[in-house]
């Protein structure tokens, strides 16, 4: 099982899409193991996006991400990183396929609604930035056997 960071960005929050987007992850069978609404500080945004610091879009990205509240999620499931990224769709809403979050809700190439960790290493680092110890939970779900085939002893 993997746990990944998902951020519903200011445009998703302002457009009232939080419930619809969060519901897609739950509908898929993924488990929400951490959730909080917050305003990202410039310092946190700088740490989160440090790999992009030299890119021309960096100042605008930090300004955007700190402009309004976001919803931060820890999402767990078998292959959760890849599953979530596929659900998100292509980075630019204008190029994202219908059926994806960005394809269904976005057209902007700047405001792309959602962030998801792109690797296990990134997920670990990013979850540590946004969640304190004890804020990402582990709990059993009765539905787990209906989401995954567990007959072989591990989720399929």
* Residue 48: active-site member: no
> Active site residue: 9, 115, 117, 130, which one?
115
Gap between the Cα atoms of 127 and 62, Å rounded: 18
CA gap 69, 11 in Å, rounded? 9
> Is the separation of the CB atoms in 152 and 78 below 8 Å?
no
DSSP E strand stretches across the chain? 2-8, 31-38, 70-77, 114-116
Residue 135: CB partners within 8 Å, gap ≥ 6?
34, 36, 74
Q: Which residues are catalytic?
A: 115
């Amino acid at each position: 099982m993997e746990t990944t960071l998902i951020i519903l960005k200011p445009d998703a929050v302002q457009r009232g899409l939080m419930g619809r987007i969060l519901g897609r992850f739950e509908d898929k069978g993924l488990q929400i193991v951490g959730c909080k609404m917050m305003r990202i500080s410039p310092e946190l945004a700088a740490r989160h996006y440090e790999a992009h610091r030299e890119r021309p879009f960096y100042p605008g990205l930090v300004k955007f991400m700190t402009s309004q509240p976001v919803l931060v999620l820890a999402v767990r499931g078998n292959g959760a990183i890849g599953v979530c990224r596929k659900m998100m769709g292509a980075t630019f809403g204008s190029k994202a396929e219908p059926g994806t979050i960005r394809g269904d809700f976005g057209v902007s190439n700047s405001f792309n609604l959602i962030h998801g960790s792109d690797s296990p290493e990134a997920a670990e680092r990013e979850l540590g930035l946004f969640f304190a110890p004890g804020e990402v939970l582990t709990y059993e779900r009765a539905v787990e056997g209906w989401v995954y085939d567990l007959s072989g002893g591990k989720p399929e």
